Amino acid sequence: MTALRARAHRYQPDAEARCLVVAPHEDDATLGCGGLILRKRLEGSSVDVAYITDGSASHPGHPTLTPEALALLRRSEALAADVALGVERSRIHFLGARDGKLGHLNAEETRALVDRIAALLVQIAPDEIFLPCRQDGSSEHDAAFNLVRSALESAGLTSRLFEYPIWALWAPQRLVRPLLTSRKIWRLDFAGYEHLKHRALGLYHSQVAPTPPWSHAPLSPEFLSFFHSPEEFFFEMPVP
């Protein structure tokens, strides 16, 4: 984090910029961009959030919680969290791809999902897109990045692209690539509002609390501690 702070520039939200946050899973938007969403909404910016998968693979082998029930639960959690961050319900989008399969789609499935993302991009016409870091430590995050890049090309848009880290914060060696290759590193300060991000994260009960009979939550307190500070970092990609 010291290296990030040393190289980061202060990010000041632009009230005129249309923003899209893309999340592979329903908690990723709040984890990586909760402070950003809060600041932008408080300062009058337009924010859309798009979830690529249905989040149904976070409890594999659970004896009572089926993937179908989990998908419904995670959707309701995301809606509650985003509304708590100030996002309008009409600007929350669920693409519904099957969780756990994003990195293993065949050519036809990939094309269909890219087309759906491209259609959403054309609808929103975002000036800024925040998407997961490449090589973040999750095949789903890597796949989401590639899908969005392909959709942008298909849509013919030239939005500014910012990568946000999730699992890379847990494994700092994964931050080396963005530290070396980003056009610019940005630091967002949302001191005074961090409790609102924490409250939104707490609405993801399926992820931050145990689901009986399991005694451990999918996201450990140690992992969540990386998202308790009043700052977020974003890596702006070079212009292609």
Is 80 exceeded by the pLDDT of residue 17?
Answer: yes
Identity of the amino acid at 73: L
The pair of three-digit structure tokens given for residue 99, joined into one six-digit string: 């969780």
**pLDDT tens for each residue of 123-173:** 999 999 999 998 898 999 999 999 999 999 999 999 999 999 999 999 989
Q: Which residues 6+ apart lie within 8 Å of 18 measured at CB?
A: 45, 46, 48, 124, 125, 126, 127, 128
Lowest-confidence pick of 78-82, 156-160, 175-179, 233-237 = 175-179
What DSSP state is assigned to residue 188? E
pLDDT per residue as tens digits for the range 31-76: 999 999 999 999 999 999 999 999 999 999 999 999 999 999 999 9
Percent of the chain predicted with pLDDT > 90: 86
Provide φ and ψ at 10, rounded to 5°: -70, 125
CA–CA gap between residue 225 and residue 172 (Å, rounded) = 14
- Stretch 189-203: mean pLDDT, rounded? 97
The pair of three-digit structure tokens given for residue 9, joined into one six-digit string: 């520039």
In angstroms, rounded to a whole number, what is the distance separating the alpha carbons of residues 22 and 28?
9
Identify which of 201, 238, 203 has the alpha carbon closest to the alpha carbon of residue 223.
201
**Model confidence at 227: pLDDT above 90:** yes
**Number of domains making up the chain:** 1
Closest by Cα among 173, 194, 231, 174 to 10: 231
Residue type at position 92: I
Enclosing domain of residue 197? 2-236
Which of 103, 158, 111, 110 has its CA nearest to residue 132?
A: 103
The pLDDT of 14-36, averaged and rounded, is 97
> How far is Cα 112 from Cα 92, in angstroms, rounded to an integer?
20
Amino acid at 212: P
pLDDT for position 5: 86
Instruction: Flag whether pLDDT at 240 surpasses 60.
Output: no
Give residue 48's identity as a one-letter amino acid code: D
DSSP H stretches of helix in the chain: 2-7, 28-42, 67-84, 107-124, 139-155, 176-181, 194-202, 205-208, 221-224
- Burial of residue 132 (number of CB atoms within 10 Å: 0-12, 13-18, 19+): buried
Q: Please name which of 232, 199, 217 lies closest in space to residue 80, comparing C-alpha atoms.
A: 199
The residue length of the chain stands at 240
How many C-beta atoms lie closer than 10 Å to residue 28's C-beta?
Answer: 28
Q: Domain holding 19: CATH number?
A: 3.40.50.10320
